Amino acid sequence: EDVVDNEVVAHELAHQWFGDSVTPATWRDIWLSEGFATFGEFLWFEADYGAGAMEAYAENLYSALVGHETRPISDPGVGELFGVGVYWRGGLTLHALRKEVGDDLMKDILTTYHARFRHGNAATADFIAVAEEVSGRDLGEFFAAWLDEVALPPYPG
């Protein structure tokens, strides 16, 4: 019997919008595909099992990353292009952004980003620009901590 985990299905379905419709401009931007698909897993857990289950899932990924030194996901290098940093930290970056700006603005950020770049390519700077434009906030320090540093920022609370 073939068994497919629902989170894998959610991950792959999220790629229809983030990874396929909006494709990373360069390999350095791969988190825009894999991190977004991992965030799709978070949203599936929340829709299917509730916010508590989604938080537990996110916290488990975060705990697994603690002490796991990876290159910054803004420049993962060839060896970590498809490593846990890109997937898990990328998803956690979006989870943290959602907590930073709130659900309504997060939805607006994602829909604006997809609408603006669908059927094309986008770079990390493009996503950051949309997030700042939609939220009306300077998110430079936030994104630098999550994307450019080796050290993992605190779990978003």
Give the active site residues: 12
Largest separation between any pair of C-alpha atoms in the chain:
50
* Owner of token pair 């977004």: 36
Compute, in degrees rounded to 10, the torsion defined by CA atoms 107, 110, 138, 51.
50
CA-wise closest residue to 88 among 124, 54, 60: 60
CA-wise closest residue to 41 among 108, 113, 91: 91
Q: Is 136 exposed, middle or buried (0-12, 13-18, 19+ CB in 10 A)?
A: exposed
Q: Write out the two tokens for 7.
A: 């989170």
Compute how many other C-beta atoms are within 10 angstroms of the C-beta atom of residue 141: 8
